């Protein structure tokens, strides 16, 4: 088929698909296309399947765009409540449903709080895409539950180095308190940008591990701690203090 062209800088590794993203510009539409894509090989969008064709022509039944109503200056809580009703319905054609919140920063406080409730326990078949040029207008609790895709020249997921550190993080958790404490000494030496990359990668890993055979309770606890760490980083708390919080929260008996 290949009638359309996606963002050249965007290739999604579907093994790392999260439930919610913050993006800007055309990445929102491309990410929605990737979410419903039926292509094989693990890299999406393929631009060849029927789902990609329909998404590119804005006729895919499993992609929904939520925008301000014509007579409103904000996205209001009633729209989010309607969205909440819709997400429990299984996809029509694709394996997933994608919801683009267009101008997500225009959600008023009540709408954001209602959306936060959805983000806390999202259905597995749903991907939320918060499209905004001003992510700082979103509540920190909303931002911390989404993957923030930095877009200097296109899609930039957590880098290889960050993913390696995240893997070491979960390996340390599995091996016990002493390896975890040792790992934290390395973590606290990261600068703010590298630390933010680690948090993104670690939360991506948490999403994968929750779907796999990993101990769900431990991973769910780690994910909650990572959310808190992201909120602290937003408040300019030092990486050393955040690392100590992560360590103290995860250690069951020994102290750091």
**Judgement on whether residues 53 and 134 belong to the same structural domain of the protein:** yes
Residue 248 has pLDDT above 60, yes or no: yes
Q: Check whether residue 144 and residue 172 sit in a common domain.
A: no
pLDDT value of position 152: 37
4 located within any domain = no
Q: Are residues 80 and 128 in the same domain?
A: yes
pLDDT of residue 62: 97
205 domain-assigned: yes
pLDDT in tens, 68-119: 999 999 999 999 999 999 999 999 999 999 999 999 999 999 999 999 999 9
Q: Range of 201's domain?
A: 160-250
Task: Mark which of 119, 148, 177 sits at the end of a domain.
Answer: 148
Residues 195 and 168 in one domain: yes
The whole-number average pLDDT for the span 60-75 is 94
As a whole number of angstroms, the distance between CA 12 and CA 121 comes to 23
CATH number reported for the structural domain that contains residue 70 in this entry: 3.40.50.300
Beta strands in 53-173 (DSSP E): 63-66, 97-102, 126-131, 147-148
Is position 154 within any domain? no
CA pseudo-torsion sign 214, 119, 201, 127: positive
pLDDT digits (tens, 9 = 90+) for 167-179: 889 888 888 888 8
Question: Residue 5: inside a domain, yes or no?
Answer: no
Domain end call among 90, 118, 148: 148
Entry pTM: 0.60
Residue 35: inside a domain, yes or no? yes
pLDDT at site 103: 93
Mean pLDDT along residues 39-68 = 87
Residue 241 located in a structural domain = yes
Confidence at 12, pLDDT banded by 50, 70, 90: low
Query: Is residue 53 located within the same domain as residue 165?
Result: no
User: Can you say whether residue 225 is alpha, beta or left, with left for phi > 0 and alpha for psi between -120 and 50 degrees?
Assistant: alpha
């Amino acid at each position: 088929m290949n009638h359309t062209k996606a963002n050249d800088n965007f290739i999604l590794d579907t093994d790392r698909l999260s439930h919610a993203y913050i993006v800007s510009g055309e990445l929102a539409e491309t990410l929605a296309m990737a979410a419903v894509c039926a292509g094989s090989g693990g890299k999406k969008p393929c631009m060849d399947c029927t789902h990609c064709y329909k998404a590119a022509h804005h006729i895919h039944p499993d992609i929904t765009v939520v925008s301000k109503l014509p007579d409103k200056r904000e996205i209001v809580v009633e729209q989010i409540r309607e969205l909440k009703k819709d997400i429990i319905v299984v996809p029509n054609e694709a394996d997933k449903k994608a919801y683009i919140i267009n101008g997500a920063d225009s959600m008023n406080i009540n709408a954001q709080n209602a959306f936060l409730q959805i983000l806390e326990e999202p259905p597995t078949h749903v991907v939320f895409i918060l499209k905004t040029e001003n992510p700082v207008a979103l509540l920190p609790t909303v931002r911390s539950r989404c993957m923030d895709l930095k877009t200097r020249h296109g899609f930039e997921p957590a880098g290889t180095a960050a993913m390696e550190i995240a893997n070491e993080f979960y390996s340390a958790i599995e091996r016990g308190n002493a390896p975890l404490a040792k790992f934290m000494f390395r973590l606290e030496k990261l600068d703010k940008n590298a630390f933010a990359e680690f948090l993104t990668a670690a939360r991506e890993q948490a999403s994968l591990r929750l779907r796999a055979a990993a101990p769900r309770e431990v991973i769910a606890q780690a994910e909650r701690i990572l959310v808190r760490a992201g909120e602290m980083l937003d408040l300019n708390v030092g990486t050393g203090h955040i690392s100590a919080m992560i360590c103290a929260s995860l250690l069951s008996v020994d102290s750091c």
